[in-house]
């Protein structure tokens, strides 16, 4: 994986696959965040863990739909969880190999980065109208907000690369 150069997107489509133009410390950060996500997914209960609520939103929202929601979770919950853990494992393996990502690896990166971003967004309670770039430097969650903003940037770059725009 090459170091990011000025004016280069963090993720780009190349002849060999999808290349991550990230510094080693950026890659290390992503690997660490993926490890933390894996722990949260494996050790947490998606139905009861607040940080996972955006990763596993209810399919049925109305009070009258409680039975349908329970059935949905019974049928789909384990599969949704396994899919997220598998995506994290795929990205960790591919990043450790240091090679360009294939199409499936790029999709796993997209899914995993989005999962980390959703958990972080839940932790800092960011909403649709919040601007993570407009937080004052003395705010107690300034680091988390900047991390959220950074992950959004890498996620957008991944989407653009998959769409063939980069």
DSSP H/E element including 34 = helix 24-43
Q: How does pLDDT run across 126-154, given as a tens digit for each residue?
A: 777 777 667 778 878 888 888 998 999 99
Which pTM was predicted? Answer: 0.83
The predicted-structure confidence for 66-122, as pLDDT tens digits, reads as follows 777 677 677 666 778 888 999 999 999 999 999 899 999 999 999 999 999 999 999
- Report residue 47's pLDDT band, with 50, 70 and 90 as the boundaries: low
Sketch the domain layout of the chain as residue ranges.
11-162
């Amino acid at each position: 994986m090459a170091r990011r150069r000025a004016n280069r997107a963090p993720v780009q489509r190349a002849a060999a696959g999808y290349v991550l133009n990230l510094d080693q410390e950026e890659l290390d950060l992503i690997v660490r965040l993926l490890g933390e996500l894996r722990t949260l997914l494996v050790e947490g209960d998606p139905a009861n863990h607040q940080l996972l609520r955006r990763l596993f939103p209810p399919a049925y929202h109305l009070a009258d739909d409680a039975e349908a929601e329970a059935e949905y979770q019974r049928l789909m919950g384990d599969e949704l969880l396994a899919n997220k853990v598998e995506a994290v494992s795929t990205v960790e393996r591919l990043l450790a190999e240091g090679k360009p990502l294939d199409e499936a690896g790029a999709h796993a990166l997209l899914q995993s980065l989005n999962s980390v971003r959703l958990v972080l967004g839940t932790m800092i309670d960011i909403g649709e109208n919040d601007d993570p770039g407009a937080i004052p430097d003395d705010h107690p969650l300034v680091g988390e907000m900047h991390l959220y903003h950074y992950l959004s940037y890498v996620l957008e770059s991944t989407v653009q690369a998959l769409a063939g725009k980069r």
